[in-house]
């Protein structure tokens, strides 16, 4: 009986060791499993985009083409992370989930630029020529998503430097061992916190594929907050930062616009 118990204990220990090794193989971070890692992962989970349910997804939508829109903002940070093709990719993904029939841009080949020019100029004759070349006559709409606003509109910061407090303690407690210790600790304290808020606005346009006339449009704005904090006391430092990434926010804006398109224009 003792031998069975011993083998059972060994088996449990071996299984636990194997699980630990597997977890380490999947996550090679030396901080994996620590409280710092758990905090970072919780913050990361909050930035992940969530799929939405489209009310009319069971109803088949018309055949459409998503053309790259425009980014009206000149914000260098935004332009570094987001391109019009990123936005169009998100739009194709979400409109497909809403059960619209999507003509993939990659299948348009050299026609893409010709079609963009036609719809940007509102030239129905050129649009028809493009459709005749590509045999896309059954396409009903062309949809575009534009960024009209992408700016960091507010910032705030706060901090504490213990140097001044250390000097005061030293002055009033001169000669005291306790005061000296207190001044040393106070002088080591540093805290810093920064926060910023972005406002990003996206417009969609639905254009009749044959006439190039605008069928509908809508606009949605969202806020995104970025932040970080750090604390150092007597040589021990802690810090944290987190934000919803720009591409996640852009996809969220696309989702909200597609919810409206799905509800109103199927």
Q: What is the pLDDT of residues 94-131, one digit of tens each?
A: 999 999 999 988 888 888 888 888 898 888 888 888 87
Structural domain count of the chain: 1
- Give me the DSSP letters along 152-220: EEEEEEEEEETHHHHHHHHHHTTT-HHHHHHHHHHHT-EEEEEEEEEEEEEEEEEEETTT--EEEEEEE
199 within domain boundaries:
yes
- Is 37 inside any structural domain? no
CATH number of the domain that residue 176 is part of: 3.40.50.10610
- pLDDT digits 0-9 by tens, 124-151: 888 888 877 777 878 999 999 999 999 8
91-95, 190-194, 212-216: range with lowest mean pLDDT: 190-194
Cα 260 to Cα 262: distance, rounded to the nearest angstrom: 5
Range of the domain at 197: 54-264
Question: For residue 28, how many other CB atoms are within 10 A of its CB?
Answer: 7
pTM: 0.67
Q: Is pLDDT larger for residue 229 or for residue 126?
A: 126
Question: Is position 248 within any domain?
Answer: yes
104 within domain boundaries: yes
The answer as to whether 47 is a domain residue is no
Is 32 a member of any domain?
no
Other residues' Cβ atoms within 10 Å of the Cβ of residue 66: 27
Give the CA angle between residues 78, 104, 97 to the nearest 5°. Answer: 75
Whether 256 maps to a domain, the answer reads yes
Helix-strand-coil split of the chain, %, nearest 5: 45, 30, 25
Q: What are phi and psi of 217, to 5 degrees?
A: -155, 160
Residue 158, domain member (yes or no): yes
**Band of pLDDT at residue 1, cut at 50, 70 and 90:** very low
Section 33-47 average pLDDT: 58
């Amino acid at each position: 009986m003792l031998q069975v118990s011993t083998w059972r204990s060994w088996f449990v220990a071996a299984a636990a060791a194997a699980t630990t090794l597997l977890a380490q193989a999947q996550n090679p971070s030396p901080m994996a499993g620590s409280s710092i890692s758990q905090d970072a992962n919780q913050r990361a989970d909050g930035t992940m985009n969530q799929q939405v349910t489209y009310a009319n997804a069971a109803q088949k939508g018309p055949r459409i083409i998503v053309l790259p829109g425009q980014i009206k903002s000149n914000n260098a940070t935004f332009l570094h992370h987001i391109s019009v093709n990123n936005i169009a990719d998100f739009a194709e993904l979400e409109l497909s989930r809403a059960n619209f029939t999507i003509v993939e841009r990659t299948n348009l080949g050299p026609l893409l630029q010709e079609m963009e020019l036609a719809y940007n100029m509102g030239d129905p004759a050129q649009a028809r020529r493009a459709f005749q070349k590509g045999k896309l006559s059954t396409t009903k709409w062309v949809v575009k998503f534009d960024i009209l606003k992408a700016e960091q509109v507010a910032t705030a910061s706060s901090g504490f430097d213990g140097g001044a407090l250390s000097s005061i303690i030293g002055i009033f407690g001169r000669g005291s061992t306790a005061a000296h210790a207190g001044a040393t600790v106070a002088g080591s304290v540093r805290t810093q916190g920064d926060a910023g808020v972005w406002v990003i606005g996206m417009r969609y346009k639905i254009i009749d594929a044959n006439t190039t006339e605008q069928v509908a449009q809508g606009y949605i704005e969202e806020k995104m907050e970025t932040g970080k904090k750090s604390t150092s006391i007597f040589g021990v430092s802690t810090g944290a930062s987190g934000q919803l990434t720009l591409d996640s926010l852009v996809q969220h804006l696309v989702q909200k616009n597609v919810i409206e398109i799905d509800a109103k224009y199927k």
